[in-house]
Amino acid sequence: MVLFQLKKAGLLPENKSDFLIKPRGWACTRNHKYTLRLFLLLPVLMLYWLSCSSVHGQKITPEQKQLIDAAIPCEAYSTPKKVRKLLVTNLSMRDGKLWKGSSHAIIPVHNYAIGQMGKITGAYEAVFNNDIEMFRPENIKQFDAICFLNTVGVLFEDQELKTSLLDFIKSGKGFVGIHDAIATFVQYPVYDQWPAFGQMLGGTENGGHPWDGELMTIQVEDLSSPLTAMFSEGSFQIADQAFQLQEPDFRKNIRVLLSIDVENTGLSPKRRILPVRTEDLDFPVSWIRSYGQGRVFFGGLGHRDSVFWNPALLKHMLAGIQFALGDLEADTTPTPQPAINK
């Protein structure tokens, strides 16, 4: 994508042969003006290459890899019906420019975890790509599901891309959103830049984090779902970041799997809580839903790197991914808020 943009700007030649630099120096090159431009652009291209390398795993430590490898499930929850391809993007944007979201630092960690989990279990092949052109109809059709892995902001405004993304899911494919995915296609102070995306996902983030690193008690709401079978008890505790949804009646569209047990977690008076959430104290963490003929899984935990070497949470993500891919059946009937949270 970067080379295409450089070529369009006239910084690269039309013919591949014009890239050749003769041994005796750029002045002897048939198109020496392009060689000079390339010479001047080398620092920029090198910085771009280095940034891509670090994002895709260069900064993950051997210790982190060891922790992840030890926590990854040994096998898939169900046998894939065919070889599955999962498109994974970490793209973060603000004001139309690339931006480092709050979870940017752990991108190498969660990319490694999601990629390795597919390899080890054989459940899917993860294809990591932040090029928005992958969402064109002719490109997206090769995949079985898309994963927004800590994406942030308005990723694109192109209406064709928007239509292509939603049509892809509605046609019978899948969507996986991890943590910051709920903060995608929104940007402070406006939280409805693309309402149709929030409707597809099941809710729209608004108002920041009611919990931002504090220890939270997570309630397992749907004990009958295969996506929660890995949790041995009805609740567990974890320190991570949580979001709140702005829709008053979001539960009519989603089947909540995990939610925050506010009674046993508490609310900090320092946090901004939406009035509707102050009233109902309803903070879902993980859910599934049907969207047309397609399937949607959202997992809200994933701000801290330790989430990606938590064995139960990796199993939860794997089950969610397999559900979205169409290989794990699960009931998506919406459920009401349990009385314990009120």
* Contact yes or no for 129/87 (Cβ under 8 A): yes
φ, ψ of residue 231 to 5 degrees: the values are -95, 115
Which of 254-258, 260-264, 270-274 is the least confident region?
270-274
Residue from 117, 148, 152, 287 nearest 218 by CA: 287
Q: Give residues with Cβ within 8 angstroms of 37, minimum separation 6.
A: 11, 12
Q: CA angle, corner 292, sides to 182 and 244, nearest 5? A: 20
Which of 10-14, 19-23, 324-328 is the least confident region?
19-23
* Contact yes or no for 242/283 (Cβ under 8 A): yes
Q: Where are the domains of the chain?
A: 2-51, 59-341
Residue range 168-202, pLDDT digits in tens: 999 999 999 999 999 999 998 888 899 999 999 99
Average pLDDT of span 26-39: 35
Q: How far apart are CA 100 and CA 294, in angstroms?
A: 30
Instruction: Provide, rounded to the nearest whole percent, the portion of the chain with pLDDT above 90.
Output: 75
Which pLDDT does position 340 carry in this prediction? 53
And the tokens for 103? 């979870």
Q: Does pTM top 0.85 for this prediction?
A: no
Which pLDDT does position 241 carry in this prediction? 95
Residues facing residue 89 across a β-bridge: 148
Alpha carbon of residue 158 to chain centroid:
20
Q: How far apart are CA 126 and CA 144, in angstroms?
A: 11
Q: How far apart are CA 135 and CA 245, in angstroms?
A: 26
Higher model confidence: residue 296 or residue 19? 296
Place of tokens 């009805």: 234
Residue 38 has pLDDT above 60, yes or no: no
Which pLDDT does position 270 carry in this prediction? 83
Residues facing residue 241 across a β-bridge: 212
Q: How far apart are CA 214 and CA 250, in angstroms?
A: 25
Residues facing residue 245 across a β-bridge: 205
> Per residue in 6-37, is it b (16+ CB within 10 Å) or e — as a string?
beeeeebbeeeebeebeeeeeeebebbebbeb
Which pLDDT does position 58 carry in this prediction? 52
Q: How far apart are CA 254 and CA 260, in angstroms?
A: 16
Place of tokens 């929850």: 77
Topology (CATH level 3) of domain 59-341? Rossmann fold (3.40.50)
Which pLDDT does position 341 carry in this prediction? 46
φ, ψ of residue 339 to 5 degrees: the values are -65, -25
